[in-house]
Amino acid sequence: MSEGTSPKLLGRLRHDPDRHVDIIVTVKGDPRHYESRLRAFNLEVKRTFTLTQKLALSGPARSVIALNNQSWVTKVEEDKPVQAVDELDF
């Protein structure tokens, strides 16, 4: 089981295993080597980040729970939108 995955996230995934989720997975080694394995988990590979050993994935929560138990997965986190601030009010 991945030590870097938040127990809170795992709890939400277990609560609704059929829910469609977007996640970022950190793996050991070159993430491109895991793309076919991830598809076998019924997860769509949306993007691969080779420098940071991460992949952006989409699929059912139950697949993410199973993925988290793989020895080559070091962390699972939610893929949340990033917002930039273009002006600061002081």
Please name the fold of domain 7-78: Alpha-Beta Plaits (3.30.70)
List, for residues 13-56, the tens digit of each pLDDT value: 999 999 999 999 999 999 999 999 999 999 999 999 999 999 99
Straight-line distance from the first to the last Cα atom of the chain, in angstroms, rounded to the nearest whole number: 45
Convert 36-65 to b/e letters by CB count within 10 Å (16 or more is b): eebeebebebeebeeeebbbebebbbbbbb
pTM of the model: 0.84
What percent of the chain has a predicted confidence (pLDDT) above 70?
92
Query: Residue 83: which pLDDT band, with cuts at 50, 70 and 90?
Result: confident
Strand partners, 56: 24, 47
Residue spans of the domains in the chain: they are 7-78
Which of 45 and 3 is assigned the larger pLDDT?
A: 45
The 3-state DSSP class for residue 48 equals: strand
